[in-house]
Amino acid sequence: MPIILLMKTTLTFISCLFLTITAFAQKGEVTVIKDPLIDSLIAKRLEVYKTSGEVKPGKPIVSSYGYRVQIFYGSDRREVFNQQARFKGMYPQLNTYLTYKEPNYYVRVGDFRSRLEAQRLINELRPTFPTLFIFREKINAPTLDTTTTNDQK
């Protein structure tokens, strides 16, 4: 009797082992479906990294982080545009940026590399624009003057 029991348990163990191995030993095929734009974006990124890094006149250089001064915010679009035009009349050389985050529009100005530069502008604007804040965000570096002393002669 013990031999029959031993054979049954051995046979059961072997069949369970066989079923387990066949259950986990599956072979399959993976199909990758992707948008063709991904390849073009990768190619463009590689092209950007391969550029020589020369500076082109009149084009802004995107730098990392800097500071901008928020001069106005509100939900009335007309008032936001009026404040932007008012600022551009006072400081035509500084860039202005409008952003919208529901329910408000925000007018931010300048591309300052240091917080001190932004604070100087705030000190000038305090009498004209009452709600001023400094924000740290990605800025556009100012355009470079690429003329040399030999070009000016």
What pLDDT tens digit does each residue of the chain (153 aa) get? 677 877 888 888 888 777 777 666 667 788 888 888 888 888 887 777 665 555 555 555 555 788 999 999 999 989 999 999 999 999 998 889 999 988 999 999 998 888 999 999 999 988 888 889 998 888 886 655 556 555 554
Tokens 């500071």 -> residue: 67
Instruction: State the pLDDT at residue 114.
Output: 87
- Residue 57 corresponds to which tokens in the numbers above? 């006149």
Residues β-bridged to residue 97: 108
- Residue 68 corresponds to which tokens in the numbers above? 């901008």
Q: How far is CA 129 from the centre of its chain?
A: 29
Tokens 């479906």 -> residue: 33
Q: How far is CA 6 from the centre of its chain?
A: 68
Report the relative pairing of strands 104-112 and 96-101 from DSSP bridges.
Answer: antiparallel
Phi/psi at 18 (5° precision): -65, -45
The amino acid at 84: Q
The pTM of the full predicted model, rounded to 2 decimals, is 0.53
Cα gap 153→139, rounded to integer Å: 34
